[in-house]
Amino acid sequence: MPNTPIGFGISIFAILAGLFLMAGGNFGMFIDPISILVVFVGPIGVTLASGTMRQFSNAMSAAGSIWGATAFPYAETIQQFKEMASVLRREGPMGLQAVDITDDLMQFGTELILGGVADSETLSAQMMP
């Protein structure tokens, strides 16, 4: 489970607790409807006005997907790197053709190595988006 919701919750709690303590227990002095409109509703209106409805809905769905992000499979990737390193030691770069690589970026890098692009600077430049 990602720590994002936990961190978000702690941050909101700290902000609200600080406001509560600073105001002497009175949240009413921090609530200003005009400021809420300017800070929250204004940017939504500007975003809607600057593009199409499809772009806005895509942006909102992309923003929503941030909270549902899945964890990266670190253990699986490390295991695959170990397997590839073992094949490289035993058989050399051409032995990587037989390895089943599941990650697209690792597959692309392996194809570059097998294609003769062995210069590290060239590899780095081509692997970066």
Q: Is residue 1 over pLDDT 60?
A: no
Candidate from 32-36, 58-62, 67-71, 87-91 with smallest mean pLDDT: 67-71
Answering whether pTM is above 0.75, one says no
Which residues, at least 6 apart from 109, have a Cβ–Cβ distance to it below 8 Å?
123, 127
Mean pLDDT of 89-112: 84
pLDDT of amino acid 33: 84
Q: Which tens digit of pLDDT belongs to each residue from 39-85?
A: 989 998 888 898 889 998 898 888 877 777 677 788 888 998 899 88
More confident residue, 31 or 99: 99
DSSP string, the chain: --SHHHHHHHHHHHHHHHHHHHTTT-GGGG--HHHHIIIIIHHHHHHHHTS-HHHHHHHHHHHHHTTTPPPP-HHHHHHHHHHHHHHHHHH-GGGGGGS----HHHHHHHHHHHTT---HHHHHHHH--
Instruction: Provide φ and ψ at 51, rounded to 5°.
Output: -155, -170
**Average pLDDT, stretch 94-104?**
84
